[in-house]
Structure 1
Amino acid sequence: MKDRIRFNVGGKIFETTSTTLANAGRDTFFGAMFDDDWNLYSNYSGEYFIDRNPNCFGVLLDLLRTGELCIPPNVSEKLLYREAQFYGLTDHVRAAKWGPIDGNRLSLSRSIAGRAPGDGTAIRGGPDGGCCVAHGCMVHVYDWILDEHPPITLDYQIVNDVGWIDPENIVVSACERLGRGDGGMGLFNAENGELRHKFQISHENQIKSFTAGALSFSSSDSHIFSSCKGRSNEYGIGVWDSVTGKQIDFFYEPIGWSLGDADKLQWLNGSSCLLVATLFPRKDNCYISLLDLRVKRMVWSWSDIGAPVTVDGRRVRDAIAMEENGSICVVNEYEDLGFMDLRGSVGGGVRWSSRSRSRLMKGKMPDYEPCYPKLALHNGQLFSSMNDCISVFCGPDWMLTSRFRRSDGGSICDFSIGGDRLFALHSEENVFDVWETPPSQITL
């Protein structure tokens, strides 16, 4: 039979068809066996020998046949994942284990205890399903199997923010130690923790020492953005090329509040603007603005200066721009959501919505100290953390549709979505949870 293919894997014979192997896709070990028209190369007869684990090969071959991942007891799950990486089938394995993020169907996969005492400060999901956790002067890095790589160590500089450029590279921003000139940012190898680039700021033809804060990234042109603070409290936004490490631009605001000592940056691809937000309680007042990099000026701004603080204390704790809706969503300490219209050069009022966790669960709050709520937007769903719970809002009116929580671990101090996983970092001993969406059932 012309379509039949035989493999000898570690001494064990397997037979399959070219149709099954074509399910692997072009950028895989098996895809390389086909020409551009998906015809099997015919200049070889007999069997293909592969010096790999035969038990894992059988599991992966069944995955290509059925789309389902069934791991027998005699096969190490970790070894199977390593073998999948060799054959270029990690995407197939992940798709069989969990599907695209759906906040209304998330299930707790596992919890991982912190590797150091004390609180973590930030968690960031990676594009391939791994994550990293900032803790003091270190960043703990986990791959998609959730094995920990050698940590990134900053020689006693405190980490302010961290983010993934791609599955292989992580950017870390840090405080400058007084008089040392060693703060700023670095690009590190995610696998071994080695420094690849150290980013510098040149302003008015001088190299400046600076503390780097909030980070954001533009995937379309490999740009990195960071809020920066100089020794004399000069504030600005730096822009670098992640490939070369070279500075591209620097937006300096000597008067200050519109750029500020930003807590949150968010790159908006559609408008080529950068959201810059300084939030309570780091500052007494909240400032949110959009920096248009094409015209190099602020094109939208909002502040709560002069706005009455209600008895509920509706101070903004986090903000996120929603380009498709032309609005910015903010959240206060009660998990009330507020919405501001981006159409116009100056922000108007905030339209508050009180469909919050605290309103619905009065008298049932946990005993431990609450953390400030955070926001995330993913595939048209809005996520908001509050204490030990994450709420999901959907639809044009952002109605509360579900929540999920874990009863131990303390309040959620940060959460992040990446690689079709949601990672939630708890305040006690930086334990973090991994939430996944079960794969859709295959119907026959």
Structure 2
Amino acid sequence: MGFKGDRVRFNVGGTKFETTATTLASAGPDSFFGPLLDGNWNLRPFSDEEIFVDRNPACFSIFLDLLRTGELYIPKKVPEDLLYREALFYGLLDHVRAAKWGRFDGRTMMRLTSTVKSRGLEQGTMVRASDDGGFCVAHGSVVHVYDWMLREHPSIELNHQKVNDIGWADPKSVVVTAPKGMGLFDSSTGELKHQFTVDSQGYHVKGFNAGPLCFGSDQKIFSTCRLRDDENGIGVWDGETGKQVDFWHESDEPLGRAHRLQWLDQGSCLLAAIHARSNRNPYRHFPYNLCMLDTRDKKVAWSWLGSPDLTSRERVWDAVAMEDKSLIAVTDEYYEGLGFLDLRFPRSVRWGPRRSTGVNMTSEGCHPKVEYYQGQLLLSTDDYISVFQGADFIPKLRLQHGDGAFICDFSVGGDRIFTLHHRENRLDVWEAPRPPIL
């Protein structure tokens, strides 16, 4: 390896390159270049010969520029699939992905970059983004999985069981819940890796109705469970081993029928959002819309009940906690707008400006949904997404395709927004444009 100071020479596919240890160090210790450096990021002493790598030289040149400048420029003559394959070899996929598009920012005009038309026989019901910018979408009993390059992988088949919820345990694993249980699947092959079971009050239950999911610290997986009419609760599993580590039992209905779960790292507790009325008995009201479960004693540490009146503005449909602001953002079923509930003084919701959508969203199979991502709130209403920022959550950005197709679900991850449209069975991908290369 020819060293002069901290310089090193490569011969890639017959083309010679020269770079420095500083440039290679920016690739990280897990990259192809990591073993060339010691713990202090100095080049290890080897022979005076250059390093020969039997790979594509055009892609290697792009990677060196990326490591030097942090910017990605792909010449038209280089196919992107080839670049991604080579990036996988060098362990640089994360660097390429980070430079492929800009960071999500509600003050920056995001653009619609891709549209994925579903081949599913049934309409899409939900979409979930992964942390690396991939996504999966459920169509009836089938889950279609895409990586961050928007390449479709083998689908996950549930044998005619309709999907209740989906989520990413990690970039390589997808959890799916259904009326007869839940499983962990390989995101690349669609193969079942583990089927979860439940032990409740000393009884082993093979089949259970698994519902909404969330993922916590220490690779914990949470899901609502309805075992029998008089036995409901939330199961907790170890995401690495698949073994159950806890079960929060409640003889009444609310916990097992929560429609959304969220793990709160700072408080080490679980937020559950529950529709005010029982699905089985519309005249029966649950004791709370929102509650927090203390993981230490498995009890409801905090709860809030809005009005169960169907015409009331206090009837919460969706909710997301913002721990850094001690607030819970909520939506209701029929109005555009956001409401806020102060966790320190939980009395009533402080609603922002709202108006009736003028559309029966329930008949369209669409409801307002709220998400919190990197200090920004996102709200779906009708056919557009609003992005709110700042201490007062002022709307800064509105994302709308323009064809009037209602959004039945959306998800944000990896600095991308994915919107699933109801009747067209179409999924749109929104990205911030990457900074220009000067």
Q: Is the 8 A contact 2:112 2:428 kept in 1?
A: yes
**1:339 paired to 2:349:** no
| Alignment match of 1:410 (pick from 405, 413, 416) | 405
Other-structure match for 1:323: 323
Change (3 A) 1:163 1:409: farther
Other-structure match for 1:242: 239
Q: Is the 8 A contact 2:405 2:424 kept in 1?
A: no
| Alignment match of 2:215 (pick from 214, 217, 220) | 217
Runs of 5+ consecutive residues of structure 2 not aligned to the other structure:
none
| Alignment match of 1:384 (pick from 379, 385, 395) | 379
Query: CA–CA distance in 2 between the matches of 1:121 and 1:231?
Result: 26
Query: CA–CA distance in 2 between the matches of 1:114 and 1:384?
Result: 24
Measure how far apart 1:305 and its partner are: 4.2
Measure how far apart 1:281 and its partner are: 8.0
Which residue identity is paired with 1:301?
S
Q: Is the 8 A contact 2:365 2:422 kept in 1?
A: no
Instruction: Give the SS at the match of 2:164.
Output: strand
Instruction: Give the SS at the match of 1:59.
Output: helix
Pairs within 5 Å for 1:224-303 = 224-232=221-229, 234-257=231-254, 259-279=255-275, 283=279, 287-303=289-305
Q: Is the 8 A contact 1:370 1:387 kept in 2?
A: no
Q: Is the 8 A contact 1:118 1:429 kept in 2?
A: no
Which residue identity is paired with 1:142?
Y
Measure how far apart 1:409 and its partner are: 7.2
Measure how far apart 1:171 and its partner are: 0.8
Measure how far apart 1:282 and its partner are: 7.4
Query: CA–CA distance in 1 between the matches of 2:65 and 2:106?
Result: 30
Pairs within 5 Å for 1:192-203 = 192-203=189-200
**1:73 paired to 2:76:** yes
Other-structure match for 2:126: 122
Measure how far apart 1:57 and its partner are: 1.4
**1:88 paired to 2:91:** yes
Query: CA–CA distance in 2 between the matches of 1:123 and 1:308?
Result: 28
Query: CA–CA distance in 2 between the matches of 1:436 and 1:430?
Result: 20
Query: CA–CA distance in 2 between the matches of 1:157 and 1:341?
Result: 39
Once structures 1 and 2 are overlaid, which stretch shifts more, 12-21 or 259-268?
12-21
Q: Is the 8 A contact 1:201 1:207 kept in 2?
A: yes
Give me the TM-score of the superposition, normalised by structure 1.
0.89
Give me the TM-score of the superposition, normalised by structure 2.
0.91
Measure how far apart 1:42 and its partner are: 1.6
Query: CA–CA distance in 2 between the matches of 1:365 and 1:318?
Result: 17
Query: CA–CA distance in 1 between the matches of 2:220 and 2:382?
Result: 34
Instruction: Give the SS at the match of 1:317.
Output: strand
Measure how far apart 1:193 and its partner are: 1.1
Query: CA–CA distance in 2 between the matches of 1:188 and 1:206?
Result: 26
Which residue identity is paired with 1:133?
V
Query: CA–CA distance in 1 between the matches of 2:94 and 2:375?
Result: 23
Pairs within 5 Å for 1:36-185 = 36-105=39-108, 106-175=110-179, 183-185=180-182
Query: CA–CA distance in 2 between the matches of 1:91 and 1:261?
Result: 38
Q: Which runs of 4+ in 1 moved over 6 A?
A: 362-366
Instruction: Give the SS at the match of 1:6.
Output: strand
User: Percent of aligned positions with the same letter in both sequences?
Assistant: 51
Measure how far apart 1:374 and its partner are: 0.6
Query: CA–CA distance in 1 between the matches of 2:121 and 2:403?
Result: 17
Change (3 A) 1:306 1:378: closer
Query: CA–CA distance in 2 between the matches of 1:282 and 1:160?
Result: 17
Other-structure match for 1:396: 391
Measure how far apart 1:261 and its partner are: 0.7
Query: CA–CA distance in 1 between the matches of 2:153 and 2:256?
Result: 35
**1:352 paired to 2:347:** no
Query: CA–CA distance in 1 between the matches of 2:157 and 2:165?
Result: 14
Change (3 A) 1:280 1:243: same
Which residue identity is paired with 1:291?
L
Q: Is the 8 A contact 1:124 1:131 kept in 2?
A: yes
Instruction: Give the SS at the match of 1:84.
Output: helix
Change (3 A) 1:374 1:315: same
Change (3 A) 1:84 1:165: same
Which residue identity is paired with 1:288?
L
In angstroms, what is the RMSD of aligned CA positions? Answer: 2.4
Deviation per residue, 1:165-201 (Å, 9 max, x gap): 11111111111xxxxxxx1111111111111111111
Query: CA–CA distance in 2 between the matches of 1:127 and 1:282?
Result: 34
Change (3 A) 1:74 1:99: same
